[in-house]
Amino acid sequence: MSSDRVIIFDTTLRDGEQSPGCSMNTAEKLEVAGALVDLGVDVIEAGFPIASPGDFEAVQAIARQFGDRGPKICGLARCRDEDIDRAGHALQDAKYRRIHVFLATSSIHRQYKLQMEKPEIIAKAIESVTRAKGFCDDVEFSPEDAVRTELDFLAEVVEKAITAGATTVNIPDTVGYATPAHYFQVISYLKKNVPNIDQAIISSHCHNDLGLAVANSLSAVEAGARQVECTINGLGERAGNAALEEIVMALRTRHDYYKLSTGINTRKLCGISRLVSSITGMTVQRNKAIVGQNAFAHEAGIHQHGMLKERTTYEIMRPEDVGFTGSNLVLGKHSGRHAFRDRIAQLGHQLDEKTFEKVFDDFIALCDKKKNVYDADIQALVENRQTETPDRWQLVSFHTSAGTSAIPTATIELVENGQAPVRDAAIGDGPIDAVFNALERVIGISARLQNYQVRSLTMGKEAQGEVLVEIEHNNNVFHGRATSTDIIEASALAYLKALNKAAANRNPHKPIHAQHA
C-alpha cells in the first residue's frame, strides 16, 4: 500500500461492542460486517474469539462470509496460547486475515494487573507474535496502555515485536490520556528510536475520555502512523473510540493539508451510522459531526444568506458526499416506479428486484398516509427491508383505546412462524404500555424496559416517528427499532423486534472483555 494511503481499521464489532448495552448477536454482526465491506474499510476487527462461544461463532461466520471480499478479518487475542489458537481457528476460513495480539506495557499495568517484570513482558510479546505467525502472515501487536509506558521500554517492546514478525504495531491510548502534541511525540520517538520501524505499519488507537480521540488519531497520522483504529459513531467503552466518519472526512476535506487518502466510500457513512445506531440502540447526538441530524443544518440567517449565494461560504463538505439525506423533498404517489428506482440509486442503494418491489409497495402505502415523502423516509423504508431477518413473531393487527377517563387498553394479534393467529389484551399506564403488556402476554416473555425513545424522522406533523427501545431479559440487553406515521404502531413493532431477539436469545453474556481480562 502506498505511503499516502491511510489504512482504516474498524473495531466497531470488537472495541465498540464492549460498550455496555451494545452487544450484538451473530446475525447483527454479520449485517454490520457486510456494511463495513461496502464502506471500504481495510480491516474489520470482528471480535475477541476467546471471550465466549458467541464471539468465536461471530468471528468465524464473518471470516467465512467476508474473508475473501477484500478487507482483512481480524481477531483479537491476549498474549496467551489459548487465545491465539482460538483466534487462529476462528479466522482459518478467511483468505485475508489478521491476528491482533496485545499485552500491557505501562508500569501501572505491569505492577498491578500483570505482576510481570519488563524482561517477562518482552519474552511474552515475542513468543505470542511468533505463535500468531503460525496462523497467518499478518500479525498486529499492541502494547496496551502504550501512551503511559516509559518511552525507552516502549521502543524496545515494539522493536522486538517487529523482529518476531509483527507487520503492524499499534500504539494504544487505552485510557484516553494523550493529547495531540503528546501523542505526536510518542509516535515520532518510535519512528526515531526503533531501528526496524520501517518494517511495520504504525497504527493509532485512541479512546475519547478527554474528547481528543479524533484529534489524537490525526496527530498520529501527521507523525507517520498509516493505520487508524476507529469505530462507527465513535462507539466504544466509556467515552468511546475515535469516530471513523470524522477521521475519514477530516482526511478528505483537508486533503490540501494531509495529502493522504483512504479507501472509504464516504457516501455510505450516514447509512452505516444509522445501521449501527439502530442495532446497538446507541443514538447519535443531533449535533454530532458528519452524521448528526443537524450536521448540515444552516439555521442562522446570516449563514442562509451566504449559502444561497454560494454554498462554500459556510459549507466545507457536501451533504451528499457523506450520504446525508436530510429533508429533500422527493417523490409523490404519482412519481412512478422509474423515478423511485432512480431515487434509490441516487441514495446509494442497489436493491435486488424482490427487495425493490417490497420497498416500492411500502412507498405507495406511505404516500397514502403522508403527502410529502422525503429522502429520509425512503432511506428508512430501504433500511427496514434490508435489515429484515425473518422474525418468529409477526404483528397482524393491534387496537388501543385510551383517554383521560378511560383505562388504557390494547388488543394484539400476532402470528408465530406463519401459524394461526394468537390474540390477547392488556391494560397499562397508557396506550403504549398497554401494547407492550399485551405483546408480552402473547409471547410469554416478561422484559424490563430500559430505554424508550421516539423522534420524528423528518419535519411536520405528518412526519414518520422512529422508535428505539432497549429491553433487559435474563441479564441480556436487546434493542428494537421501527418507523411508522403512527407512533403507537412504531412502538409496537420496535418492542416486538426486541422481544423476538429475546425469544431467540443466541447471545449469552460475555465472560471476558479485552481490557477487563
Q: Is 227 among the residues that bind ligand KIV (CB under 6 A)?
A: no
DSSP string, 380-448: HHHHHHHT----SEEEEEEEEE--TTS--EEEEEEEETT-S-EEEEEE-SSHHHHHHHHHHHHHT---E
- Closest CB to ligand KIV among residues 208, 379: 208
- By CB under 5 A, name the one of 8, 12, 13, 15 that touches Zn ion: 15
CB distance 263 to 40 below 8 Å: yes
Which of 220, 201, 192 minimizes the C-alpha distance to 161? 201
Q: Among all chains, which residue has been given the C-alpha cell 408480552? A: 440
* Residue 248 DSSP one-character state: H
- Order the strands of the 465-473 sheet from edge to edge: 448-456, 465-473, 476-484
Q: Is 172 among the residues that bind ligand KIV (CB under 6 A)?
A: yes
Helix (H, G, I), strand (E, B) or coil at 55: helix
- Closest CB to ligand KIV among residues 23, 142: 142
| Binder of residue 217, out of Zn ion, ligand KIV, none (CB less than 5 to 8 A by kind) | none
| Shortest Cβ 14–Zn ion spacing (Å) | 8
Helix (H, G, I), strand (E, B) or coil at 56: helix
| Shortest Cβ 181–ligand KIV spacing (Å) | 21
- Point out which span in 111-119, 159-167, 168-176, 252-260 binds ligand KIV (CB under 6 A): 168-176
Number of shown-chain residues binding ligand KIV (CB under 6 A): 10
Q: Is 102 among the residues that bind ligand KIV (CB under 6 A)?
A: yes
CB distance 479 to 491 below 8 Å: no
| Binder of residue 28, out of Zn ion, ligand KIV, none (CB less than 5 to 8 A by kind) | none
Which of 432, 481, 52, 456 minimizes the C-alpha distance to 282? 481
- By CB under 6 A, name the one of 8, 9, 12, 15 that touches ligand KIV: 15
Number of shown-chain residues binding Zn ion (CB under 5 A): 1
- Closest CB to Zn ion among residues 18, 26: 18
* Contact letters for Zn ion, residues 495-514 (x by CB under 5 A): --------------------
User: Can you say how many angstroms the Cα of residue 282 is from the centroid of all Cα atoms in its chain?
Assistant: 9
Which of 193, 137, 198, 189 minimizes the C-alpha distance to 169? 198
- Closest CB to ligand KIV among residues 15, 320: 15
- By CB under 6 A, name the one of 86, 98, 205, 226 that touches ligand KIV: 205
φ, ψ of residue 42 to 5 degrees: the values are: -90, -35
Residues 470 and 282: their CA atoms lie apart, in Å, by 10
| Shortest Cβ 164–ligand KIV spacing (Å) | 17
* Contact letters for ligand KIV, residues 56-95 (x by CB under 6 A): ----------------------------------------
- Footprint of Zn ion on this chain (CB under 5 A)? 15
Q: Which residues bind ligand KIV (CB under 6 A)?
A: 15, 102, 142, 144, 170, 172, 174, 205, 207, 514
